[in-house]
Chain A
Amino acid sequence: MLMKGANAIVEALRREGVEVIFGIPGGASIPFYDVLYDADIRHILTRHEQVAAHAADGYARASGKVGVCSATSGPGATNLTTGILNAFMDSSPMVALTGQVPTPLIGKDAFQEADTIGITMPITKHNFQLRRVEEIPVVFKKAFKIARTGRPGPVLVDMPKDVQEKEADVEFPKDVAIQGYKPTLKGNLKQVKKAADMLVAAERPIIFAGGGVIIANASQELARLAETLGAPVVTSLMGKGAFPEDHPLALGVIGMHGRKAANYAINDADVILAIGVRFSDRSTGNVECFAPEAKIIHVDIDPAEIGKNVRVDLPIVGDAKYVLKDLLRMLKIKARQENEWTRKISEYRREFQPKMDYDDFPLKPQRVVKEIMEVLGENDIVTTEVGQCQMWAEHFLSRTKARTFITSGGLGTMGFGFPAALGAKVARPESNVVDIAGDGSFLMVCQDLATSVKEDIPVVVAIFDNHYLGMVRQWQELFFDKRYSAVKLGRVDFVALAEAFRARGVKVKRPGEVAPAVKEAFEAGVTTVIDIVVNPVENIFPMVPPGKCLKDMVEGV
Chain B
Amino acid sequence: MKETHILVALVEDKPGVMQRVSGLFRKRNFNIDSITVGHSEKPGVSRMTLTVTGDHAVLEQVMKQLNKVIEVLKVIELDKKSSVQRELALVKIRTKNETARSEVVSYVNIFRGRIVDVSKESLVVEITGDSSKIEAFVNLVTTFGVIELARTGVTAMSRGTGK
Q: Residues on A close to B: CB < 8 A?
A: 117-118, 121-122, 125-126, 146, 178-181, 302-304, 307-308
Contact = CB atoms under 8 A, between A and B. Distances in A.
A121 B24 CA distance: 9
B23 A180 contact: no
A298 to B, nearest CB: 13
Contact of A121 (B20, B57, B73): B20
A111 B40 CA distance: 40
A40 B122 CA distance: 73
A118 B64 contact: no
A122 B27 contact: yes
Contact of B23 (A121, A304, A308): A121
Nearest to B56: A307
Nearest to A155: B70
B70 A180 contact: yes
A307 B60 contact: yes
Contacts of B67: 303-304
Interface in B1-28: 11-12, 16, 19-20, 23-24, 27
A178 B27 contact: no
Contact of A308 (B61, B69, B73): B61
B101 to A, nearest CB: 46
A304 B68 contact: yes
B12 A304 contact: no
Given A122-B27, A180-B71, A303 B19 contact: no
B14 to A, nearest CB: 10
B31 interface: no
Contacts of B19: 118, 121
B124 interface: no
B64 A303 contact: yes
B68 A121 contact: no
Contacts, number: 36
Contact of B16 (A117, A125, A181, A308): A117
Contacts of B24: 122
A307 B57 contact: yes
A122 B25 CA distance: 11
B65 interface: yes
B93 interface: no
A181 B57 contact: no
B70 A181 contact: yes
Nearest to A131: B15
B127 interface: no
A121 B16 contact: yes
B148 to A, nearest CB: 30
Contacts of B20: 121
Given A126-B70, A304-B65, A307-B60, A180 B16 contact: no
Nearest to A305: B64
A180 B27 contact: no
B72 interface: yes
A302 B24 CA distance: 16
Given A118-B19, A122-B23, A304-B68, A180 B61 contact: no
Interface string B44-73: 000000000000010011001101111111
Most buried by B among A126, A180, A307: A180
Interface in B50-105: 57, 60-61, 64-65, 67-74
A178 B70 CA distance: 8
A302 B27 CA distance: 18
A212 to B, nearest CB: 16
Nearest to A181: B70
A180 B64 contact: no
A76 to B, nearest CB: 21
A178 B72 CA distance: 11
A383 B5 CA distance: 45
Given A122-B23, A307-B57, A179 B65 contact: no
Contacts of A181: 70
B77 to A, nearest CB: 15
A308 B16 CA distance: 26
12 contacts: A117-B16, A118-B19, A125-B70, A126-B70, A180-B11, A180-B12, A180-B73, A303-B67, A304-B61, A304-B68, A307-B57, A307-B60
A75 to B, nearest CB: 23
Contacts of B64: 303-304
A179 B12 contact: yes
Contacts of B71: 180
Most buried by A among B11, B61, B70: B70
Contacts of B68: 302, 304
Contacts of A178: 70
A102 to B, nearest CB: 18
A302 B67 CA distance: 10
Contacts of A121: 16, 19-20, 23
A82 B95 CA distance: 57
Nearest to B24: A122
A117 to B, nearest CB: 7
A98 B70 CA distance: 20
A169 to B, nearest CB: 23
A304 B57 CA distance: 11
Most buried by A among B11, B27, B57, B68: B68
A181 B71 CA distance: 8
A117 B23 CA distance: 12
B151 to A, nearest CB: 27
Nearest to B16: A117
Nearest to A127: B16
Contacts of B72: 180
A303 B61 CA distance: 9
A122 B16 CA distance: 12
Nearest to A179: B73
Contacts of A307: 57, 60-61
Instruction: Return the 10 tightest CB-CB contacts between A and B, nearest first.
Output: A304-B64, A180-B73, A126-B70, A122-B27, A303-B64, A181-B70, A304-B65, A180-B72, A180-B70, A122-B23
